[in-house]
Structures are given as structure tokens and as C-alpha cells.
Amino acid sequence: MANTNTGAEKSMVETDQKVTLLGPVKVKAHDLDDILTLAPFVVAADGGAAQALDKGLIPKAVLGDLDSLPQSARAALPPEIVFQIDEQDSTDFEKCLARIEAPMILCLGFAGGRIDHELAVYSALVKHPQTKCIVVGDHDIVFAAPPDMSLDLPVGARVSLFPMRRVQGASRGLRWPIAGLGFAPDRKIGTSNEATGAVNLQFERPGMLVILARDHLAAAMAALSLSPRWPASSPD
């Protein structure tokens, strides 16, 4: 029997290691191997546990409402690592972000599937801006911008900014500076900007997504590791 709860707990997984959070969208074995070298502590979100098992991995924990976890996969998992969260007000991805305490989370298996599911993932990123979390896709990476970060990027690297709410910021090292611009999803967005060298980004509130090529994952991890966190409950 799985551990069952109402979702009131804050942290179910606590580690000083970087976490690979595995979702249900199919990933290539070599991609998973690459991410595991960077974040060796594996947690699965609901049906992502089946993908872990298919690749010979036993996660440290499985979190979610478990409605997409096949019974055969559930039976193959040690019951003490399976945490069933019965509330239906959040997605499995958001349940995981709210209950994992780690220096950084690399999320694999959440991009490239259903568009509605992927949009919900990006919504969750800005709902939990204090979490240092990077969604890794086949070609791009996406993360919520911290208050202040410096990215070591080559000249010409694509730096796309997509606001999930009204937000303003400032920049150095972008071809098109962002100071003075009022960003909002239905107004000004900042996709397809370019680095002119090292980039610094500052934002006055949470709500901005940063999108980079996957080749710059190491640079993003280094920048997030050094950046301050937003407060857990940022004011609207």
C-alpha cells in the first residue's frame, strides 16, 4: 500500500543532492543518462515512475495522485517510496515542486507531450518561484527567472524571455535591453533576444520564464546555483 496523505505536508523529499524529476513524456535513454550525471537523485512524478522502471531505475520517491501510474509499475515499486497525494487542485508536477527540498531540480519528461500539460508545467514554475528548477526538453530548457542572475553565454546565443504575468526588469549583455519594458503575456514579450556576451538579468517580481538552447544547460545551472531565491510567498 502506498503512503497516503491529504497534501498538507510541505516536504516529502529532502536531499542535499540535485534532483532529476522524471515525468511521463518519453525520453531517450542517452538524454536521461546525461541528466543523471548532473542530478543523480531520482524522483518520479506519478506515471514518470513507469518510465524510470523501463530504464532500470528505482526512484527515491514517487509523488502524485497516482491516477496515471500503471498497476504493474506500482506493484514493482517499494511501497515506502510511493506517496499518494489525493488533492486535485494541482498537477502532479506542481505537487512535486511543493514537496521536494533540494538545491536544484532538473525536470525531464515534461516537455514535448500534450500542449495543455506543458503549459501547466510552465504555470507551476512561476507559482513556485523560490524553487530552482529547470525543465529540460529535446532542444530547449525553461526556468523561472530569479531576482538577479548572471549567465555566461556566448555571443549570439538565443535568450528568450516569456512573461507569465505583468513584470518588469533590467538587463546587461542583451542585444535588445529590457529596461523600461512592461512585459505581460498579452502585451510585450521578449522571445528571440540574443546575448552580446555575458548576460545579467534582474526582475522586480516573479513571473518571467527564461528559455535557452539545451546546449546552455550547464550555464543555466551555474547561474541559478549562485542566484538568490524569491521568497516562498511573493506578493502579487
Q: Model confidence over 111-131: pLDDT tens digits? A: 998 999 999 999 999 999 999
Q: Which residues pair with 208 in a beta bridge?
A: 163
pLDDT band at 19 (very low <50, low <70, confident <90, very high): very high
User: If we measure between CA atoms, which residue out of 12, 52, 10 comes closest to residue 35?
Assistant: 52
- Mean pLDDT score of the chain, rounded to an integer? 92
How is the chain split into domains, by residue range? 15-138, 139-216
Homologous superfamily (CATH) of 139-216 is Thiamin pyrophosphokinase, thiamin-binding domain (2.60.120.320)
- The CA-atom distances, in angstroms, between 187 and each of 161, 167, 236 are 13, 11, 18
> pTM here?
0.92
Q: Which CATH architecture has domain 15-138?
A: 3-Layer(aba) Sandwich (3.40)
Residues 32-47 as b/e (b if ≥16 CB within 10 A, e otherwise) read beebbeebebbbbbbb
Give how far the C-alpha of residue 6 lies from the chain's centroid of Cα atoms, to the nearest Å. Answer: 24
pLDDT digits (tens, 9 = 90+) for 79-95: 999 999 988 788 999 99
SS3 146: coil
pLDDT above 70 as % of the chain: 94
User: If we measure between CA atoms, which residue out of 26, 12, 132, 107 comes closest to residue 61?
Assistant: 12
